[in-house]
Homo-oligomer: A and B are copies of this chain.
Amino acid sequence: MKYFTKFDSKAVADLLIEKALFYKTNSRVDLNKGSGKRIGCIFLNPSLRTRASTQIAALNLGMEPIVMNMDKEGWALEMKEGAVMNKGTVEHIKDAAAVLGSYFDILAIRAFPSLTNKQEDIEDFIFNQFVKYSGVPVISLESAIRHPLQSLADMITIQEQWKGTKKPKVVLTWAPHIKAIPHAVANSFTEWALGCGHELTITHPQDYHLDPQFTKGAKIELDQHKALEDADFVYVKNWSGFNDYGKIVTTDSAWMLTEKHLKHAKNAKVMHCLPVRRNLELSDEILDGKRSIIQQQAENRIYAAQAVISQILG
């Protein structure tokens, strides 16, 4: 494996899930695997869990992680081919990525979308420029359209939790938010849930359809209450408009997930990628109650990253 940027296949996902669960109880067993190797973690945007869990995963494998906050400690990067750089950008991605590629054995990169330039975001332009020019293995720490480490942690968590024999019913439900939020987590969760063979229903208000390249194969049910019936896992997430790109179409608080919404889903576990806005996306009663497996998801971020890095190390 050279790149970890999206869902590959069920076989690879199963391997990574198994590896992650092994590391969860044997975190230091491969301490020599990455010895003398370096991972560069490059953040173009803020981060808490991703920053910490990726460093921990690397340290668990004996690697040396170095974190660079490009936006704060470095400088503005130029992304366009052929640009005449006589404005605000200080260094071209071509040059920066190539240097970083010569400094590190693996690069891990976070690059959020603009939410204003739809075409560029859909092409995952910034992230792919890093991949193109770095020349070394690259791990996505969330790109414009995907957050695969989060989704892998989500799949690990579902596997840990699900003791049934039938396929679990997984529901991805839109939640209100006051800011325009990227589609990356929703897209990736959809991609991984479907790829891993889960039965997935997506529910959201009218005009919040996700990019169809991700949702193909999922059931779309715009009636939230109907969608939630008999759910085994409910993934709560806001995203901004895709058709009306990057727009907040509604903040209708009726969509905030509460216990009342789950009265016909007695055993449903509730998931969220964090950070969560309490009592806006999800009620305190759910977050602080027994349904929540959100902390478990967050902890699994370490082992998801560790499995991926280990697989890249080979």
* A→B interface (CB under 8 Å): 28, 36, 38, 40, 43, 46-49, 51-53, 55-56, 59, 64, 66, 68-70, 72-75, 78, 82-87, 90-92, 94-96, 98-100, 102-103, 178, 274-280, 284, 287-288, 294-295, 298-299, 302
Contact = CB atoms under 8 A, between A and B. Distances in A.
16 contacts: A46-B75, A47-B73, A48-B73, A48-B99, A49-B99, A72-B72, A75-B275, A83-B279, A84-B280, A91-B276, A92-B276, A92-B278, A95-B275, A98-B295, A99-B274, A102-B295
Copies in the complex: 3
Contacts of A36: 28
Contacts of A86: 178, 277, 279-280
A95 B276 contact: yes
B284 A95 contact: no
Nearest to A80: B278
B295 A85 contact: no
A175 to B, nearest CB: 12
A73 B66 contact: no
Query: Nearest 9 A-B pairs (CB), nearest first?
Result: A91-B275, A85-B277, A84-B279, A102-B299, A99-B298, A48-B74, A86-B280, A85-B278, A90-B275
A82 B278 CA distance: 8
A68 B73 CA distance: 11
B82 A56 contact: no
Contact of A55 (B66, B279, B294, B295): B66
A124 B38 CA distance: 34
Contacts of A56: 38, 64, 66, 103
A119 B62 CA distance: 46
A47 B59 contact: no
Given A83-B278, A275-B96, A75 B48 contact: yes
Contact of A43 (B73, B84, B96): B73
A73 B84 contact: no
Pick the most buried of A59, A75, A102: most chain B CB atoms within 10 A of its CB. A102
A68 B95 contact: no
A51 B103 CA distance: 11
Contacts of A49: 99
B68 A59 contact: no
A236 to B, nearest CB: 13
A96 B280 contact: no
Contact of A73 (B51, B87, B98, B279): B51
Contacts of A178: 86-87
Contacts of A299: 99, 102-103
A85 B178 CA distance: 9
Contacts of A302: 103
Contacts of A102: 295, 298-299
Most B CB within 10 A of own CB, among A51, A72, A85, A96: A85
A114 to B, nearest CB: 19
Given A55-B66, A83-B279, A90-B275, 12 more contacts: A46-B73, A46-B75, A48-B73, A56-B66, A82-B279, A91-B276, A92-B276, A92-B278, A94-B287, A95-B274, A95-B287, A103-B299
